[in-house]
Chain A
Amino acid sequence: MRTPDVLRLALGALVQQKVRTLLTMCGVTVGSLVLLLSLSIGVGLREAVFKEIRRHDELRRIEVRPGYGKVEEHIPPQDLVVQGEMSDAKRRRLRDRLVQAWIARHGYPPTSPLTTDRLAEIRTWPHVVSATPQYMEWGRVALDGKFKEVETVSATTGREQRLRARLTAGEWFKADDERSVVVSEYLLYTWGIASDDAVRGAVGRKVTLEYRTGMSRPMMLLSLFNVDPSMVGPEQEAIARKILKNLPLAATQLGLDKDELERLQNMLNGPKREGVFETEQVISEELTIVGVVRGPEKDDPQADSLIDRFRPDSDVVLPVGMAEALYFRNPHHAERGLDFADVTVDSENHVQEVVNRIEAEGLGQFSLADYAQRVWTNLTLLTSAFVVLSLTALMVAALGITNTLVMSVLERRHEIGVMKAVGARDGHILGIFLVEGALIGLLGGCLGLLFGWLASFPLESFAMSVVKRQGELHPDQALFAFPPWLIGGVPLFAMLITTLAALYPARRAARVNPIEALRHD
C-alpha cells in the first residue's frame, strides 16, 4: 500500500467526522500551545539572562573575601570555660552566650585574611589573569573647613568604566598613585558649589580626606547633644575635648547633693573598663580635585556589570595606589587585610578550578558562575514545571484521541470489514488508524505553533514590561525564543504522543473480524 493512499484514507476518515476531529484537535492544539510557550519563554529567558551576565565577561570574575572560619577558633579556650555543676544543655546555652559576649567585645577577625601578599600570590595561580584589590572606606572630606561624611572608593575596573563615562568636569586619573581625587557633583552641591561654572572651578582645589580609627571621645560627647557630624571640625573637637577634661571639676555645679556627688566621684575615680575605647587615630591626606562625576541617569547605557551594581556609587573616588596607601595606614587593615578583591580568570571553564583553590586557601568567594548555575537551575525548574503542566494537557488530549478513535473503530467496523474482504492486511488497517492519530497530532501541533507564536506578541510585551520594571535585566532580545528545534519539535512531539494514543484503537481496528463486521452490517 502506498503512503499517499494511507494518508488519503486517514484524512478522508477524519474529514468524515469534522466536528469530532476538530474538537479532538483543539485539545492537542491547546497542549502544544502551552508546551511551546513554556519552552519558548524558558529558552528565551535563559538566553537573555546569560547574555546579560556575559555582557561584561562576569562569568570570568570572582569576588574574593577574607575567610571567616568558625568563630570559636578566635576565642582563647579559657574564655569559654563554663564553671559549676549543671546539665549539658545549660552548659551549652551558657557557652553560646560567652561566645556572643566575646564577639561583642573583641569583634570577629578573619581566620584567613586577604592580605596584599596573598593577592600577589593569587596572581601567580594558573588561569588567573588579574587580581585587583577593592578599597572602600568611610571617612570625612573637607573643603574650606566644611566636613562631609563620605564613602571613598578606589577607581578599580568596572567602577572606573562606569564613572569615567559620567565625568562632567575635569579629567580622570592619569596615574594610580597621584594625590588626587574625583568627587561627585552632589558632594560639591552640599558644599554650595552648584552652577556648571562653579563645578568646573572646583577642579584643581584641595580637599582634606580623613579616616579615623578607634573611638573619638569628643565626638561621643557631642553626639549626646545630637550634633550633626558635618558641623564638627578640628576647632569644635578641641572645644569638646576641653569640656571632657573639665567635666569632673564642674560636677559641683550640677545640682547634686553631697551623697550623689560622692557616688559620682567614686565612679569617675574607680576602675576603668578595658579594651572598649580604642585610642583614636586620624589618617589625613590633602588631595586635589581632578574631576567631577554626575549621578546615574535613566538612559545611561548599562555599562556596569551585575557585580558592580551591588557596589554603590561613592562621592569620593581615589586612584588605586593612593586608596591602597591610605587604607593600609590604618593598623587594623594592615593586620586584617582587604575586605575584598576581584579575580579575573582566563576562561569561564576555569572559574570552578580557581574557586576551589580559593576555598582551599580558607578564603571566602562569590562568583557569578555560582549565581549563573543557580539561575540556570531555577529557570530550568520553572520551565520544567510549565512543561509538566503542558505535557499533562497533551496527555489529556491524547486520551481524547484514544477515545475518539475507539469510537471511530466501532463506527467503522463495516468499512474495516470491507477493506479486509478486498485484501487489506492487518498492518494496512493499523497504519491507517495510526496515521489518523498522527495527523491529528501534527495538525493540532502546527495550530498550537501558530497560535503560540501569535500569542507570544502580547505576552512578550507583558513579560518585557515586568522584566524592565524589575530593573535588573535589560534584555535587547525577545524573551520568547523560537529556535528551529522548538518549531520543528513541538508538532513532531505532539504527533508522537497522538500516534501513541492511537496505538490501542489502531490495534483494535486491525483485529476486527471481517466476517463479523460484514455480518452485522
Chain B
Amino acid sequence: MSSAASDGAPAADDVLVRTTGLCRTYAAKAAPVHALRDVSLELRRGEKVALLGRSGSGKSSLLNILGGLDRPTSGVVQAAGSDLTRLSARQLADYRSTQVGMVFQSFHLIASQTALQNVELPMVFLGRPPLERRAAALRALDLVGLADRAHHRPSELSGGERQRAAVARALVNEPKLLLADEPTGNLDTLTAETIFKILDENCRRGGVTLLLVTHDEELARRHVDRVLRLQDGRLI
C-alpha cells in the first residue's frame, strides 16, 4: 500500500482530507485503465502539498476525486468532515462550492463574462446577494492583484492575469481545500513564480490546505510543506 509521507500521525481533527485504498479505473475498449491504485493519504489543515508525477500517473484523477468532480471506483475519501463517496450529486455540488477551490492549467474562465463575473460565479450558485458577492469578488481580485482588470473579459487579459483571476475565483468562497492542477503549466517562469507566491500567500493567510499538481519540482519545493509522488496510479 502506498502512503502519504508524513512526519508522525496528525491529530484526527487536524486532518482535512483522508483517502483510504482509493482506486479509480476507467473502462476502455482495449483494457481497463487503472488511473489510481490503492491510494491512501492525509492532508492536514493549512498544509501545502505538491503532487508530482509524470503524465498519466493519475494526478488529475486524484484531484478530480478530491474536488468532488469524480467518484472513486473503490476506497474511501474523507474531506472536510464528509465521506465524498456517500454524498449525492447535489451534496457533491455543495461540497465543491463551499469546501473546495480549483485552479486549472487552462484557467477555465467563461469567455463571455468579465473577470469580476467569473470570480462571482461560485457565489452565484450559493445564492449570495449581488452586492455582497460583488464586494467579495473585488476583494479576491485585489488579493491576487487584479482589481484594476476586474471588468475585462478573459480575452483581454494575459495568461498570468487569467490564472490570477482563476485563483481569485477558487478562493472567493474561502474554501478549506485548494486544488491546483498544473496552474503554471501555460505560463512563463516569472509569471509562474508570481502565481505560486499568490497561492502560497493566500493559503497561508486563510489557513487553506493546498494540493498542488506540478511538473516544476524546484518551484514547488520553495512553496510547499511536503511533496507526494504518483507513479502509475500509486503513491510512492
Contact = CB atoms under 8 A, between A and B. Distances in A.
Interface stretch (A188-196, A213-221, A416-424, A497-505): A416-424
A422 B69 contact: no
Nearest to A514: B69
Nearest to B112: A16
22 contacts: A1-B127, A2-B124, A2-B127, A12-B112, A414-B108, A415-B112, A418-B108, A418-B110, A419-B125, A420-B69, A421-B102, A423-B93, A423-B94, A423-B173, A424-B93, A425-B90, A425-B94, A426-B89, A426-B90, A427-B90, A515-B64, A515-B69
Contacts of B102: 421-422
Instruction: Provide the main secondary structure of the chain A interface.
Output: helix
B67 interface: yes
B200 interface: no
**Which A-B residue pairs are the 3 nearest by beta carbons?**
A423-B97, A425-B93, A422-B122
A422 B121 contact: yes
A420 B108 CA distance: 12
Contacts of B104: 518
A518 B110 CA distance: 11
Interface in B75-130: 89-90, 93-94, 96-98, 102, 104, 106, 108-110, 112-113, 121-122, 124-127, 129-130
Contacts of A336: none
A191 to B, nearest CB: 93
Given A421-B69, A425-B90, 14 more contacts: A1-B125, A1-B126, A2-B124, A2-B127, A5-B127, A415-B110, A417-B108, A418-B110, A419-B110, A422-B125, A423-B122, A426-B90, A515-B69, A521-B108
A422 B126 CA distance: 10
Nearest to B172: A422
B125 A425 contact: yes
A422 B64 contact: no
Interface string A9-34: 10010001000000000000000000
A428 interface: yes
A65 B102 CA distance: 90
B142 interface: no
A289 to B, nearest CB: 90
Contacts of A2: 124, 127, 129
A515 B70 contact: yes
Given A16-B112, A415-B110, A418-B110, A425 B89 contact: yes
Interface in A486-521: 514-515, 518, 521
B112 A422 contact: no
B125 A424 contact: yes
B37 interface: no
B169 interface: yes
A515 B179 CA distance: 14
A422 B107 CA distance: 12
Contacts of A417: 108
A421 B121 CA distance: 11
Contacts of A16: 112
Contacts of B97: 422-424
Contacts of A521: 106, 108
A418 B98 contact: no
Contacts of B106: 518, 521
Contacts of A425: 89-90, 93-94, 125
B158 to A, nearest CB: 19
Nearest to B70: A515
Nearest to A415: B110
Nearest to B100: A423
A418 B96 contact: no
B69 A418 contact: no
A144 B70 CA distance: 115
A12 B112 CA distance: 9
B126 A423 contact: yes
Contact of B96 (A9, A422, A427): A422
A36 B106 CA distance: 50
Interface in A395-443: 414-415, 417-428
A9 to B, nearest CB: 8
Contacts of B121: 418-419, 422
B81 to A, nearest CB: 17
A423 to B, nearest CB: 2
A213 to B, nearest CB: 95
A428 B125 contact: yes
Contacts of B112: 12, 16, 415
Contacts of B169: 422
Contacts of B94: 423, 425
Contact of A418 (B67, B109, B129, B130): B109
Contacts of B90: 425-427
A417 to B, nearest CB: 7
B108 A518 contact: yes
A509 B74 CA distance: 28
B49 to A, nearest CB: 21
Contacts of A426: 89-90, 93
A12 B89 CA distance: 26
Contacts of A5: 124, 127, 130
Interface string B125-145: 111011000000000000000
Contacts of A9: 124
Nearest to A16: B112
Q: Most chain-B CB neighbours within 10 Å: which of A414, A426, A514? A: A514
